[in-house]
Every structure is written in structure tokens, then in C-alpha cells.
Amino acid sequence: MADPKTQGLVVGVVGCGAMGQGIIQVSLQGGLKVVAYDAKDGGAEAGVAKVIELLDRLVEKERISAADAEAMKAALTVAADISDLAPCQLVVEAVFEDIGVKHEVFGKLEAVVAQDAILASNTSSLPIGSIARPLKHPERVAGLHFFNPVPLMRLVEVIKGPATSDEVIEALKTIGDRMGRVPVVVKDSPGFLVNLGGRAFTTEGLALHHEQVATEAQIDAIMRDCAHFRMGPFELMDLTGIDVNYPVSMIVFEQFLNDPRLHTFPHHRALYEAGRFGRKTGIGHFRYDGKGQKIDPPSPDYLTDAAPAEVVACATPEDTELAAVIEQLGLVVRPDDGALPILATFHGEDATGFAFRTGTDPKRLVAIDATGDTSKRLTLMQTPGANRSCLDAVAAAVSAKGIAATVIGDSPGFVLQRMRAMIANLGCEMAQIGLATPQDIDTAMKLGLNYPMGPLEIVEDLGADRTFTILQELQAATGDPRYRPSLWLRRRALLGLSAHTAG
């Protein structure tokens, strides 16, 4: 195998569509020589022309020098036939997600490249073991999964198939570094790391919507304002396209043998079958104009003309986070007189369960989620049949401080706790099955999906014991194995260890 650090390393790229073009560009910018090939007549030439156009644009923007651009162009050649890839020390395949097509491509590549050349697939869904199965030297086959758009997305998943040698993985990590990417080593598994890890964010949002806990707009706003996600789950699904995320959700669910943690919900399927794919069709969870902007988006805010509460009772005075919120709102806490709104916060319970367990008057109870960032938005909820005037008074006090109030239906774990706990739990489960190291799981989810924190970092932020409690309460309230805590999380919560603790 050629030294991956050598200056003259030659990379072949098979398939010159959008992904192939991005791989070509980052390879050139990493100082590598590139041979581009596409089975479609004129496909390689068209792809190379696009890359050259992008390099020229980078020169115009003064991102690279004209001399560097010319050197990159000189290092790029077009293969007339797949046999022209013979000098390549690494070939990256970026063709259709069809196992038959990939077998054909890899069979041809194996016949022309040197025995020590690395063959890598940019597949996002097909097992590396399946791709390598018919080859004579499966030990040199690995996944090199880039994210679109490749030049902007710094992550690359380096996927180790069942037969892939350690030497190949180390070489691909070095080459990924040279391409300016952040390589994360991942075990060969359905969805790999990012496509698996991203399921919790969307499916738990759909679960909350399915139960009529909150609207799409409310859930999105809570995740943006209180957890600092760039987009909520419904905005994200509309951006990527329901025609993309619904099939991926079903593939991952089925390939993990119908694990309840991974299932999606009927509304997701209904949008898919109706052709309401999101921005690309003008309607999905929301409606969009021709520029992709929302049309008349529903407000997530609760508005009331009630007089703001000034004095309240508190059912959980020991909770320091709620005490901070009460101080933030300028409220005075007094002993319950039988008429005051009663504030409480809890973890994983719903308002009904809390009232029943503690004997708190359910009609005057106003539950507040005091976790997360409370500076922009606060989530409030009540039991069914509660006194609305108590809620209105507290919501008015929230609004009076310039904070948005979101009122949701009674839910174990509110919205934010449920969402964060499920993201964290899936990250812990990926660590438990050895998909990647805890640190790499966090890195991949932040770079691949722009998460503000990695899943295991969320555990650290919430606290392992609290995250574990939220999931236990969710499972107890719903009876749904979807919420069963990962053993990785359970052990670290019980032992008081960091979620990043190995072993």
C-alpha cells in the first residue's frame, strides 16, 4: 500500500455527479492528484468542468490563489475508460445506491488497479461488507462517506467493513485529513453513524406531534430557542425532503430489526404518500413560496390578555433551576392560600402524574420546564381540566418579561426533556454497540448534522442521572419500549460516571 502521506498520491473518483464533484474538489485542495471517471458519455467531462468552475469562483472570492487553482487543474485528468484508473492508489466510488451497480463497478476496479490500492465507497446506506463480498481482496475495501455539499461539510465517515484491514482504515484517516475533512472511524452498521444518530431528533418530534402534545411550529421553536438547534425537526425534514428522510427512516428501522427506538409515525408516511415533500414541492409540514420561505407560518407563542401573575405558590421549592426562573420572572413565592397558581418543575413526569404523586391541586398546577435555555422561551403545561386562569396569569408574567411562552399538552418530559433525552439515549446506544468512540459520536453529530452538542455531551449537560430518570419516567408513563434507557447510560448514571467513560 502506498504511503498515504506521499506527495504524488493519485485518487480516482468514479461517478461525477454532485457528490463526486465535491470529492474531486476537496482531493485537489488537499494536494492530491485526481483521475475522474463516469460511465455516462460526457459525464466525467461535465463533472470536471463544474469543478473547474468552482475553483475559478474560489479565486474570484480570494479563497485560493490563481496559481494554486492552476496547479489543481493540472493535477486533474479525465479517464476515457475505467482502465485509466490503474495508477490510482485510492479509488472512491460515488455512483447510484444500488448494490448490483456497485458490485459491477468494484469488480471492474479490482481487475485494473494494483493489488495494494484501496477501494472505497461513498455509500450512505449499503453495508460495506455487502459491497466487498464478491471481491478477491475485501480487506482493502472500506467506506468513505462524505456529506453534501462536500466542500462545506467537514465530516467524513471512515467505515470499517468486516474484512477491512486496520492499515486501510489508518490510510483513509490520513487521506481524509489531507482532504481537509475530519475523519471519524465507524463500524459497518445500518445508517452508519450520522444517519442512525439523526433518527431520534426527527422521530421524537413526530412522536410529540402524533400525541398532540404540541404543534410542529411549537416543537421547532422550543428546540431552536431552548436547545440552540439551528432548525427544529419539522423544518429540517422539510429542508432535506420527506422523499429522502422517510425512506431512510424506514430503512434504518427495518435493518435494525424493528427496534422501537427507531420507528417513525403515520404522519411522516402520510406526507410521503401525498407527495408533500417539503420545500421542493411547496408543502410539507409547512407551506413554502418559490424561494423556500414559509408562507403564513403558525405562531408557537401563547398570547393572553390576562393580568400577569405577581404572587405564586411553589410545589418544588428545592429545584434551583425553577427558583432561577421564578427570580427571572420577578415572581413572589408565598405559601399556598388555595387560590394561587402553583408552579412546579419535574423531570420525565407529566403534570397529571406529578399532581397525583404529590397531592398538588391539579386545577391550579402550572408546570414549567426549567431545563435548557430559558432566556428566550419557556414551556408551560397543565393537567387536563385545569383552571385556565392560572395558566393565563403565569403566561402573561412570562410575556411581560419579553420571553415567549409556549403552552403544550400534558406530556411526560415536556418537549425539550423528551427530545434531548432521546437524542442522548441513542448516542449512548451507539457507544454501547461500539459503533464509534463516545468522542467520535459527538464529533460526527455536530459536524454532520450541525448539532449544538453531541449526544453524549447532552448527557453531561443534563446529568447522566437526570437523563436516566427522564427516560425511566417516560417508559413508566407510556409503557413504550421506545424509551428504554441504554445500558451505557444506566451504568454511568448509577455509578456517577461521565457518559464518555469507556468500558
Q: How far apart are CA 279 and CA 258, in angstroms?
A: 29
**Cβ atoms 411, 417 nearer than 8 A:** no
With residues binned 3-state (H G I as helix, E B as strand, rest as coil), the percentages for the chain, rounded to 5, are: 45, 15, 40
Q: How far apart are CA 208 and CA 414, in angstroms?
A: 9
Is 277 in the same domain as 397?
A: no
Specify which residues 159 forms β-bridges with: 143, 186
**Cβ atoms 352, 367 nearer than 8 A:** no
Is 140 in the same domain as 265?
A: no
Place of cell 410545589: 315
Is 121 in the same domain as 139?
A: yes
The answer to whether residue 425 sits within a structural domain is no
Q: Identify the pLDDT of residue 226.
A: 98
Residue 124 vs residues 22, 34, 141, 184: alpha-carbon distances, Å: 15, 22, 15, 14
Q: Identify the pLDDT of residue 182.
A: 98
Is 44 in the same domain as 182?
A: yes
The residues annotated with a catalytic role in the active site are: 124, 145, 157, 195
CATH number at residue 269: 1.10.1040.50
Domain-terminating residue out of 168, 188, 208: 188
Task: Identify the H or E element spanning 76.
Answer: strand 76-78
DSSP string, 426-467: HHHHHHHTTSS-HHHHHHHHHHHH--SS-HHHHHHHH-HHHH
pLDDT under 70 in the chain at which residues?
Answer: none
Is 147 in the same domain as 110?
A: yes
Q: How far apart are CA 132 and CA 137, in angstroms?
A: 8
- The x, y and z cell numbers of residue 430, run together, are 451507539
The answer to whether residue 270 sits within a structural domain is yes
Give the ranges where 274-350 is alpha helix by DSSP (H): 320-329
Q: Identify the pLDDT of residue 503.
A: 85
The torsion of the CA quartet 139, 140, 143, 149, rounded to 10 degrees, works out to: 180
Q: How far apart are CA 52 and CA 2, in angstroms?
A: 28
The answer to whether residue 322 sits within a structural domain is yes
The answer to whether residue 397 sits within a structural domain is yes
The answer to whether residue 467 sits within a structural domain is no
- Number of structural domains the chain divides into: 3
Task: Identify the H or E element spanning 187.
Answer: strand 182-187
Q: Identify the pLDDT of residue 493.
A: 98
Is 182 in the same domain as 34?
A: yes
Tell me 100's DSSP state: H
Specify which residues 118 forms β-bridges with: 90
- 3-state DSSP call for residue 112? helix
Q: How far apart are CA 106 and CA 298, in angstroms?
A: 50
Give the ranges where 344-387 is alpha helix by DSSP (H): 351-358
The answer to whether residue 100 sits within a structural domain is yes
- 3-state DSSP call for residue 144? strand
Is 170 in the same domain as 219?
A: no
Q: At a CB cut-off of 8 Å and minimum separation 6, what does 401 contact?
A: 328, 329, 330
Tell me 180's DSSP state: T
Specify which residues 91 forms β-bridges with: 12, 119
The answer to whether residue 384 sits within a structural domain is yes
CATH number at residue 100: 3.40.50.720
Is 268 in the same domain as 392?
A: no
Q: CA 493, 494, 497 angle in degrees (round to 5)?
A: 55
Q: How far apart are CA 398 and CA 61, in angstroms?
A: 46
Is 64 in the same domain as 182?
A: yes
**Cβ atoms 154, 139 nearer than 8 A:** no
Q: How far apart are CA 457 and CA 191, in angstroms?
A: 21
**Cβ atoms 60, 186 nearer than 8 A:** no
Domain-terminating residue out of 161, 188, 215: 188
Is 163 in the same domain as 244?
A: no
**Cβ atoms 10, 32 nearer than 8 A:** yes
Buried b (16+ CB within 10 A) or exposed e, 157-193: bbbbbebbbeebbebbbebbebbebbbbbbbbbbbbb
Tell me 232's DSSP state: -
The answer to whether residue 33 sits within a structural domain is yes
Reply yes or no: is the peptide bond before residue 162 cis, omega within 30 of 0. no
Specify which residues 120 forms β-bridges with: 92, 142
Q: Identify the pLDDT of residue 2.
A: 79
Specify which residues 378 forms β-bridges with: 405
Give the ranges where 330-415 is alpha helix by DSSP (H): 351-358, 388-400
- The x, y and z cell numbers of residue 134, run together, are 464478491
Q: Which domain holds residue 378?
A: 311-408
Is 138 in the same domain as 262?
A: no
Is 241 in the same domain as 183?
A: no
- The x, y and z cell numbers of residue 413, run together, are 418530559
Provide the sign of the torsion angle of the four alpha carbons 169, 171, 174, 179, taken in this order: negative
Domain-terminating residue out of 388, 408, 428: 408
